[in-house]
Amino acid sequence: WRSNVDFSIPEHIQSLCKKIRAFLEEEISPIEPQLMEKGFFAMEPLINEKRQAVKDLGMWAPHFSKEYGGMGLSLAEFAHVSEELGRSPLGHYVFNCQAPDVGNMEILHHFGTDEQKSKYLEPLVAGEIRSCFAMTEPDHPGANPTWMGTTALKEGSDYVVNGHKWFTTAADGANFTIIMAVTDPEGENKYSRASMLISPMDAEGVEFVRNISVMGEPGEGYVSHAELKFNDLRVPEDHLLGGEGAGFAIAQERLGPGRIHHCMRWIGICERVFDLMCQRAASRMVAPGKPLGTKQIVQTWLAESRAEINAARLMVLHTAWKIDKEGNYAAREEISLIKFYVADILQKVLDRAIQMHGALGMTDDTPIAWWFRHERAARIYDGPDEVHKSVVSRRILKAYDIKVS
């Protein structure tokens, strides 16, 4: 961790973040209650108007290459932007850098053929279509991407895909999916058994089972997690990504930057919620003339939250800087550290905010409860906390000649 990292924020990024904050406060925050009440599809025409406004302001796809119409920010620069966008449930979507599209853009950019880029990447970056990523399975642990039941077996010039996926985020209304499936079940190297393939969602053999109800909410559109089945789905061999057996390597390449995106988004959520906590502490009267903030326990919650958010931010920015400088592999320990640490801070801050808001915190009159429902999964997806802690501990103990199975 000892390195010459500079945590100062470049002036152009400071200016960009101010513009984003102003846009979110003026254009997006006022429509958040409607999103929670009416759902994504009812709000989609209005949301698309906001997306066009972002394009017109020159802030579209800030994470992505200028060649494709993005802003071309580095990972460390985008980290600051992702934090700002995280302050709204609509932030990343309106700026076209939401998961899973953001990860699929990166996969297609690095591993796609010219034809794949033309057919899928270009319209995805332009915001004309949405995508999803089908890896997690109900019958196999999501923390082990080397063990899957979905197969893609070669028949002539096609791969025939059969399998069962779930928690395929944003499949509802997506134009295409990237599927991770086993192409070499008997391969000696477990890391080379799986591949990634692209399939249109309307292809024969793609069965959309349902949007899974998560804590009482099935969701819709990009705010949803679908269950899918692939029944003799035929995928042409020219829809293979990065070569046969490259699935695991591509997934690992995707997850490093993806965890920066997620962690900074969580910090943005924490900052918005922290603002709400402070406003509540200053305005809620618990006795005549005495605001809630005069209570010592409330002061403790605020102080602890401030310290934890600040610490989390520095950890993530350092990791983003290291990935930019040295690549994913060199930063693999830091990537695991931020994944479980920031996810835990997010849960703590949200829980304190609900407690501080009392009955109001349980309602959808603020976005706190919405985030509490949707972000509990932060400690599970992209590797559960326990897995990341085990990975870090094994690396630490290895330096002391202790082998842990």
Task: Report pLDDT digits (tens) over 283-293.
Answer: 999 988 899 99
| pLDDT score for 5 | 67
Residue 137's DSSP bridge partners are: 140
- Whether 180 and 167 have beta carbons less than 8 Å apart is answered as no
| pLDDT score for 145 | 80
Q: Tell me if residue 65 falls in helix, strand or coil.
A: coil
E-only strand ranges, 95-150: 131-134
Closest C-alpha to 280, from 293, 290, 267: 293
Rg of the chain over CA atoms, in angstroms? 22
| pLDDT score for 294 | 95
| pLDDT score for 1 | 47
Give residue for tokens 């919405």. 370
Output the six-digit token pair for 395. 């690396």
Q: Which helix H or strand E contains 311, and what residues bound it?
A: helix 296-326
Weakly modelled stretches of the chain, pLDDT under 70: 1-5, 405
pTM: 0.93
Closest C-alpha to 110, from 202, 241, 269, 227: 241
Surface-to-core class of residue 208, CB atoms within 10 Å of its CB (0-12 exposed, 13-18 middle, 19+ buried): middle
| pLDDT score for 287 | 81
| pLDDT score for 382 | 86
| pLDDT score for 57 | 97
Output the six-digit token pair for 210. 């349902």
Closest C-alpha to 32, from 93, 118, 122: 93
- Whether 181 and 152 have beta carbons less than 8 Å apart is answered as yes
Compute CA distances 49 → 46, 53, 128, whole Å: 5, 6, 13
Give, as one character, the DSSP assignment of residue 206: E
Give, as one character, the DSSP assignment of residue 272: H
